[in-house]
Amino acid sequence: MKKRLGFVGVIIENRKKSASSVNKILSDFGDIIIGRIGLPYKKKDCSVITLIVDATTDEIGALSGKLGSIKGISVKSALSRNR
């Protein structure tokens, strides 16, 4: 399967409670992550993470699915058409 450039957006509603689970998953998928930007928003006790990935549709689905299975996590992803 062909790898394509894409991104994954993650919103963590309770960063103190979920951060370790999210970081474990991101570490497991480190081979497909080429960039990461994380912004904590202390006022609302949440964080936003944007990942730049080079991945197949199966890999992006697995990453998004594992992150989305954590309570309080919202995930959206998109891949380029053919890069």
Torsion region of 73: left, alpha or beta (phi above 0 gives left; psi -120 to 50 gives alpha)? beta
8 A C-beta contact, residue 53 and residue 32: yes
Total-model pTM: 0.89
Which CATH number covers residue 73? 3.30.70.1150
Q: Does residue 64 surpass a pLDDT of 90?
A: yes
Could you tell me the residue range of the domain that residue 39 belongs to?
A: 4-79
Q: Does residue 83 surpass a pLDDT of 70?
A: no
8 A C-beta contact, residue 81 and residue 32: no
What total number of domains does the chain contain?
Answer: 1
The mean pLDDT of the chain is 93
Q: Where are the beta strands (DSSP E) in 13-80?
A: 33-41, 46-55, 73-79
Q: Does residue 60 surpass a pLDDT of 70?
A: yes
pLDDT in tens, 37-56: 999 998 988 899 999 999 99
Distance CA 73, CA 17 (A): 11
H or E stretch covering 26:
helix 15-28
